[in-house]
């Protein structure tokens, strides 16, 4: 896979593994997506489907970009020791040795993390914070899609936590005694704002979500953002993922209104909650950013 033409420029094989779709592609080291492919996530036999997709992308890859590492985003929490994941509500996905299997297929080192943490890395790489002084790179991300998670960046550092899973913000409580979450708790953000939760409550596809429900999703995300702002003292909270992408401005309007009500500490008056912005930092760039952040070409690859 690395025996491309000698003048090939380096890049990353990027993979976003979600409960509803599998996306894979090639991203160059400037952050441009040069190839993209995706399939619906099958209800069972996910790994053969993923293998097939990865092989197809590698076969279609133009020879001018040679992947040097694989970056993958997937639902957390992640077992970084074994390179596998343990997403709540997805027992069939638990403990599959993703890193080892993908490394065997691609002959490349594989790095995995959540979408929210990928979004933070992508923002530092390609987004508005890329040009901000490191000491002022204080922001949180919230990726709202099939899964809801995020990350905290303080002084330019993506904080890891004890088990390197800091950022499971989908399980912030936004409605005490509220809807049951797949994690077993009640009132988690994920139980209101994930694609699955929204579609289950409306009986419609995400893009056909009625205005009142969009308003409710905005309110719930705002409550989580108010908690994040109070906890972390950040300049911005960046809300990405397919939910804000599809629900668009009405979601952000509801969010802004509720956030203002919920967040009145004087030092937080200037906190900005925004979307991912005009620079393209979609899921594949997030996945590539994971590889970019961790891959040291001269260091031995993780097992």
Q: Phi then psi for 151, rounded to 5 degrees?
A: -160, 160
| Pick 110 or 220: Cβ nearer Zn ion | 220
Site for Zn ion in 237-296 (CB under 5 A): none
> What would the two tokens of residue 278 be?
């005009």
Part of the chain binding Zn ion (CB under 5 A), chosen from 95-103, 137-145, 167-175, 264-272: 167-175
Q: What is the DSSP string of 168-221?
A: -GGGSBSSTT-SBPTTS-BSBTHHHHSHHHHHHHHSS-GGG--HHHHHHHHHHH
121/192 Cα distance (integer angstroms): 26
| Pick 39 or 173: Cβ nearer Zn ion | 173
Part of the chain binding Zn ion (CB under 5 A), chosen from 43-51, 138-146, 180-188, 260-268: 180-188
Residue indicated by tokens 């002022």: 136
274/140 Cα distance (integer angstroms): 11
Taking CB under 5 A as the rule, does residue 49 contact Zn ion? Answer: no
Part of the chain binding Zn ion (CB under 5 A), chosen from 99-107, 130-138, 170-178, 205-213: 170-178
- Least distance from C-beta 177 to Zn ion, angstroms? 14
- Strands 78-79 and 9-17 turn out to be unpaired
Taking CB under 5 A as the rule, does residue 186 contact Zn ion? Answer: no
Q: By the 8 A CB rule, do 216 and 192 touch?
A: yes
| Pick 74 or 271: Cβ nearer Zn ion | 74
Q: What is the 3-class SS of 68-82, one letter each residue? A: EEEEEECCCCEECCC
Taking CB under 5 A as the rule, does residue 181 contact Zn ion? Answer: yes
Let me know the angle formed at the C-alpha of 118 by 49 and 242, rounded to the nearest 5 degrees: 70
Taking CB under 5 A as the rule, does residue 188 contact Zn ion? Answer: yes
84/112 Cα distance (integer angstroms): 9
Q: By the 8 A CB rule, do 189 and 176 touch?
A: no
- Least distance from C-beta 215 to Zn ion, angstroms? 22
Taking CB under 5 A as the rule, does residue 115 contact Zn ion? Answer: no
- Least distance from C-beta 170 to Zn ion, angstroms? 6
- Least distance from C-beta 179 to Zn ion, angstroms? 10
- Least distance from C-beta 185 to Zn ion, angstroms? 5
Q: By the 8 A CB rule, do 139 and 123 touch?
A: yes
Taking CB under 5 A as the rule, does residue 179 contact Zn ion? Answer: no
Taking CB under 5 A as the rule, does residue 185 contact Zn ion? Answer: yes
Three-state secondary structure call for residue 221: helix
Which of 244, 172, 263, 255 has its CA nearest to residue 218? 255
| Pick 111 or 169: Cβ nearer Zn ion | 169
Taking CB under 5 A as the rule, does residue 171 contact Zn ion? Answer: yes
| Pick 88 or 140: Cβ nearer Zn ion | 88
| Pick 105 or 183: Cβ nearer Zn ion | 183
Taking CB under 5 A as the rule, does residue 183 contact Zn ion? Answer: yes
Site for Zn ion in 15-44 (CB under 5 A): none
Residue indicated by tokens 């708790």: 185
User: Contact positions toward Zn ion, by CB under 5 A?
Assistant: 171, 181, 183, 185, 188
């Amino acid at each position: 896979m690395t025996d491309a033409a000698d003048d090939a420029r380096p890049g990353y094989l990027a993979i976003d593994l979600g409960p509803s779709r599998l996306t894979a592609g090639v991203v160059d080291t400037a952050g441009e997506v040069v190839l993209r492919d995706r399939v619906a996530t099958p209800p069972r036999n996910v790994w053969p489907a993923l293998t097939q997709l990865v092989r197809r992308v590698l076969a279609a890859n133009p020879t001018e970009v040679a992947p040097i590492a694989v970056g993958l985003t997937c639902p957390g929490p992640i077992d970084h020791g074994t390179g596998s994941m343990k997403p709540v509500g997805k027992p069939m996905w638990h403990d599959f040795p993703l890193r080892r299997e993908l490394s065997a297929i691609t002959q490349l080192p594989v790095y995995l993390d959540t979408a929210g943490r990928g979004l933070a890395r992508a923002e530092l790489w390609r987004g508005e914070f890329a040009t901000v002084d490191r000491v002022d790179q204080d922001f949180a991300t919230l990726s709202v899609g099939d899964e809801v998670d995020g990350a905290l960046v303080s002084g330019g550092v993506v904080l890891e936590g004890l088990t390197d899973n800091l950022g499971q913000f989908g399980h912030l409580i936004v409605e005490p005694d509220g809807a049951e979450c797949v994690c077993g708790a009640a009132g988690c953000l994920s139980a209101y704002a994930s694609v699955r939760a929204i579609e289950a409550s409306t009986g419609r596809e995400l893009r056909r979500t009625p205005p009142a429900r969009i308003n409710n999703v905005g309110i719930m995300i705002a409550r989580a953002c108010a908690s994040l702002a109070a906890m972390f003292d950040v300049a911005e909270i960046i809300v990405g993922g397919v939910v804000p992408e599809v629900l668009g401005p009405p979601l952000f309007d509801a969010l802004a209104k509720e956030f203002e009500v919920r967040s009145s500490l004087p030092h937080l008056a200037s906190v900005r909650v925004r979307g991912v912005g005009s620079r393209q930092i979609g899921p594949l760039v997030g996945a590539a950013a994971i590889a970019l952040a961790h891959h040291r070409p001269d260091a031995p690859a993780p097992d």
